[in-house]
């Protein structure tokens, strides 16, 4: 499974990076390919390429604020949750992503 996503919390520091780390680790354990961009007080890091977005099966938005570039994800299956869900329950989140994708095929 190929996933892309954006992590962004209200302050743009701690939860943004914790959510990213938790999602990366959970996806790795499942053998998923995941790329995550962060948006916060220091700007955008690890910006997603249009090719990565195009090839993704789904987009995870672990966000607590509006993000830049939402239009990049038009036409993609989007799962949007607060960063706290990615931090506390990354495995359950990926279960839900699998469920959503299996229902849409």
Cite the active site residues.
Answer: 9
DSSP secondary structure letter of residue 104? T
Burial profile 43-69: b = 16 or more Cβ within 10 angstroms, e = fewer: eeeeebeeebbeebbbbbbbbbeebee
CA neighbor of 22 nearest in space, from 87, 95, 77: 87
């Amino acid at each position: 499974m190929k996933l892309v996503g954006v992590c962004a919390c209200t302050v743009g520091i701690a939860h943004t990076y914790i959510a990213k780390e938790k999602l990366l680790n959970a996806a790795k354990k499942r053998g998923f390919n995941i790329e995550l961009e962060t948006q916060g007080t220091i700007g955008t890091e690890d910006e997603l390429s249009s090719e990565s977005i195009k090839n993704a099966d789904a987009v995870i938005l672990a966000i607590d604020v509006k993000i830049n570039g939402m239009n990049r994800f038009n036409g993609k299956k989007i799962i949007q949750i607060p960063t706290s869900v990615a931090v506390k329950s990354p495995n359950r989140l990926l279960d839900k992503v699998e469920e959503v994708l299996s229902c849409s095929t």
